[in-house]
Structure 1
Amino acid sequence: MDFSFGAEDDCFREEARAWLREHLAGEYAAAGGEPEVRRRWERELGADGWVGLGWRGEYGNRSASVTQQVVWAEEYARAQAPGRVGHIGENLLAPTLLAHGDAAQCERFLPAVARGEELWCQGYSEPDAGSDLAGIRTVAVRDPAHGTYRITGQKIWTSLARDADWCFVLARTDPDSQRHHGLSFLLVPMDQPGRIEVRPIRQMSGSAEFNEVFFDGAAARSEHLVGGPGNGWRVAMGLLALERGVSTLVQQIGFFEELDRVLRQGARTGALRDPVLCDRLVRQWAELHTMRWNALRTLGSSAGTAPGAPSVAKLLWGRWHQRLGELAMQVRGAAATAGPSDWSADSPYELDALQHLFLFTRADTIYGGSDEIQRGIIAERVLGLPKESRGCL
């Protein structure tokens, strides 16, 4: 199978490189950056059409082929550009509106995402309904007098909720429904003081990427219900299927960078002289290339949309990334358990990149659907095994 890029892709690559060289200056030169800096960077990208390359080219974005989207993702990662804060709106909400939304919804929301002006977060998981999404309890009650739905409930593990302008929320609009029936997909403005509260979740790594979000009668306009009342499960499953393809390749580019960092650390500490450890690192390299080739193979084909395909991919990369975190500590040796040499009780403890990698990867087999849930999906939808009993023993 030929995994090479064509002449048009090479020209697109040169254009992307030139743009990134010109614009990655000043406050944008660092790969991290404060939230406001990263937000300004989204507008910088949007001004020249680099947001939404995979959409139809009619909302202020460039039109690009699938391979050109891969090229852009590769060059963006290699340039160590700032972390994106608009990716949920660009890669999840926008394709969902294009597939399930109406023309008015696309016209209202997609240009603002393409300009980098409105940021989004995802309101799916709940304290008692994480991987089991059909068990959500958040409710949305129709208020015909005001042309709105009133939403009450709690969401958890919500990335970027503190910075988001909007949240797409899966809520139960039929009070008599159960499981995946009677759910609706609503677009909710986050600027509703007293009706929406966001609380950061402090993790063992010291960071707080995730949040709890509490809705207390928060309003969503009736025309901002996507796919029709009661069709939220179909819309939500369509959105989750988008977490593959080009977005998977973007993730894998980050994995390559992390693996390279681990290898460099192993060379510095002499850990690569250990044949067993070296063999494990070579295996990690080979598996990552295999995952990349498989992702390229499925782009634009029916293989990526086959039942269970996203679950298989999640099982593979989740375990792979977790093993990389473990290897990151092994190449460091005893130093991996210590803080910086200049640490004191008067200054906050700062993890280095490899320590943060290890701690964060502990969650890889849980978030985005736990391994147990993914295996259940494969068993039922691919192998045709009996459904797991959900009743009480």
Structure 2
Amino acid sequence: MDFRFGPEDEAFRQEARAWLDEHLAGDFAAARGRGGPGSEHEGGEARRAWERELGKGGWIGLGWNAEFGNRVAGLTQQVVWAEEYARAKAPGRYGHIGENLLAPTLLAYGSEEQKARFLPPIARGEELWCQGYSEPDAGSDLAGLRTSAVRDGDTYRITGQKIWTSLAHDADWCFVLARTEEGSSRHHGLSFLLVPMDQPGRIEVRPIRQLTGTSEFNEVFFDGAVADAAHVVGGAGNGWGVAMGLLGFERGVSTLVQQIGFAEELALVVQDALEAGAVADPVVRERLVRQWAELRAMRFNALRTLGSSEPDAGAPSVAKLLWGSWHRRLGELAMQVRGVAAAIGPGDWSAQTPYELDAMQRLFLFTRADTIYGGSDEIQRNIIAERVLGLPKEPKGS
């Protein structure tokens, strides 16, 4: 596939740029640049309103089809939109999980009724989603989950606990992987359910305070929560295949947009290095150049993967390994270029105000988790070894 931008792409760029410049004003001007890594809690109300504004403009779900209420854009135009969105320092997306994870999954595995019910509200920016996968004893080992869902007439009753659930405190819906066949184990007997979050007494959300001082992650407790039996995606007992398909979207396609934000962060680190004089150190210069070169390589790898007509079982895992370790090293480099000043927060210490962090300090702390969430590096290497290279499976208990 040719990923060079043609005249139509550049015309689309001008349209996107003009729309962003016009709409990131007034009530939305203060939301610019808010909601990045480690600060997803910022400007929640404004960012939720911004999702609806994006929906009105037809900028959500550009890769879908017009049937679900949005404009249609080819792959290169989707890249153009992402680039312009980053250039404009538009708010961090509140609707990312619905648009980039659930929607492609519904398009691939959902029934026509499910698509008609859930895709249009996502395209309008009206319904926000969270992801109910990880559990206290089943994080990277997702097949070990214990949350159960028991059929009760036309509904399922869900009991169990999920953890590290991003933005669950604001989400309207949660897609939950649960065990629906009693006595089943590992990958068998799982189902992918769409669950409304507004169930007082049946769903409890508890924020988890992180190193950054923020709480966008949550614990979610289900105590007989109700899900419509018609909202099981892919059919009962087929949840593992659906869940793995979704992780492919999470680790593959959406990383291209993510990399544009990475480039913005790298530019800030370079600026700090110049201001602190750290570029005089040849080791720091080499690390800055390496970060830039590796980011370019990640971009080309993502474009190659998106343009390929052949399925690649290892591509999502390779993408996750690349960006997770790259981003963590960027956080470390952000502190290295500042030297001892990196340990000092921007607040007024004499006033005894609550501890504060600036953007680069939040970046460092937040990126410590990049090689863990979304599937740890160890799990990704196992997937590549077993499913791509055909190596023996890792012995149990090792």
TM-score range, shorter chain: over 0.9
Superposed CA deviations along residues 193-239 of structure 1, whole A, max 9, x for unmatched, are: 00000011101111112100000000001111111110000111111
Task: Work out whether 1:74 is the aligned partner of 2:80.
Answer: no
Q: Does 1:37 find its partner at 2:46?
A: yes
Equivalence for 2:229: 222
SS in 1 for 2:67: coil
Instruction: Give 1:105's match in structure 2, choosing from 106, 109, 114.
Output: 114
SS in 1 for 2:195: strand
8 Å Cα contact 2:172-2:197 kept in structure 1: yes
Aligned AA (2:210): Q
Where in structure 2 are the equivalents of 1:159-198 lying within 5 Å?
159-198=166-205
Give the structure 2 partner of residue 376 of structure 1. Answer: 382
Q: How many angstroms does 1:143 deviate by?
A: 0.3
Partner of 1:25: 25
CA distance in 2, matches of 1:4, 1:99: 28
Structure 1 residues 16 and 246 mapped into 2: Cα distance closer, same or farther (>3 Å)?
farther
Between 1:133-142 and 1:235-244, the stretch displaced more is: 235-244
Measure the CA separation in 1 of the matches of 2:303 and 2:7: 18
Contact preservation (8 Å) 1:183, 1:229: yes
Deviation at 1:247, TM superposition (A): 1.3
Q: Distance in 2 between matches of 1:189 and 1:154?
A: 15
| Counterpart residue type for residue 305 of structure 2 | T
Q: Work out whether residues 139 and 171 of structure 1, in 8 Å CA contact, stay in contact via their aligned partners in 2.
A: yes
Contact 1:28–1:81, Cα closer than 8 Å, also in 2: no
1:218/1:104 CA distance change after superposition, 3 Å: same
Q: What's 2:9 paired with?
A: 9
CA distance in 1, matches of 2:347, 2:142: 45
1:3 CA drift (Å): 4.0
The answer to whether residue 52 in structure 2 is matched with residue 50 in structure 1 is: no
Q: Distance in 2 between matches of 1:315 and 1:166?
A: 29
Write the deviation string for residues 325-377 of structure 1: whole angstroms up to 9, x where unpaired: 11100111100011225234642111011111111111111111111111111
CA drift at 1:307: 1.5
SS in 2 for 1:252: helix
State the SS of the aligned residue for 1:283: helix
Secondary structure of the structure 2 residue equivalent to 1:150: strand
Q: Which runs of 4+ in 1 moved over 6 A?
A: none
- Over the matched positions of the two proteins, sequence identity in percent amounts to 76
Structure 2 unpaired stretches of 5+:
35-41
Normalised to the residue count of structure 2, the TM-score between the two structures is 0.95
Of residues 347, 352, 366, the one that matches 1:360 is 366
Contact kept in structure 2, 1:183 and 1:230, CA below 8 Å = yes
- Are 2:315 and 1:306 equivalent residues in the alignment? no
1:153-180 Cα shifts (integer Å, max 9, x gaps):
0000000100100000000000111100
TM-score scaled to structure 1, two decimals?
Answer: 0.96
In structure 2, what is the Cα distance between the partners aligned to 1:111 and 1:309? Answer: 30
Letter paired with 1:95? P
Q: How does 1:85-124 map to 2 (within 5 A)?
A: 85-124=94-133
- Contact 1:3 1:293 (8 Å CA) reproduced: no
Distance 1:172 1:86 in 2: 27
Unaligned runs of 5+ in 1: none
Residues 16, 81 of structure 2: 8 Å contact kept? yes
Q: Distance in 1 between matches of 2:100 and 2:239?
A: 18
SS at match of 1:197: strand
Deviations 1:16-69 (A, max 9, x none): 001001100023122215211111100000012111111111111111101111
Corresponding residue SS for 1:218 = strand
- Offset from partner CA, 1:78-110 (integer Å, 9 cap, x none): 100111101111111111111111111111111
Task: Summarize the Cα distance change of 1:341–1:170 in structure 2 as closer, same or farther, 3 Å threshold.
Answer: closer
Contact 1:121 1:166 in 2 (8 A): yes
After TM superposition, give the deviation of residue 246 of structure 1 in Å: 4.1
CA distance in structure 2 between the partners assigned to 1:318 and 1:112 by the alignment: 31
Does structure 2 retain, via aligned residues, the 8 Å contact 1:66–1:246?
no
Counterpart for residue 332 of structure 1: 338
1:344–1:204 CA distance, 2 compared to 1 (3 A): farther
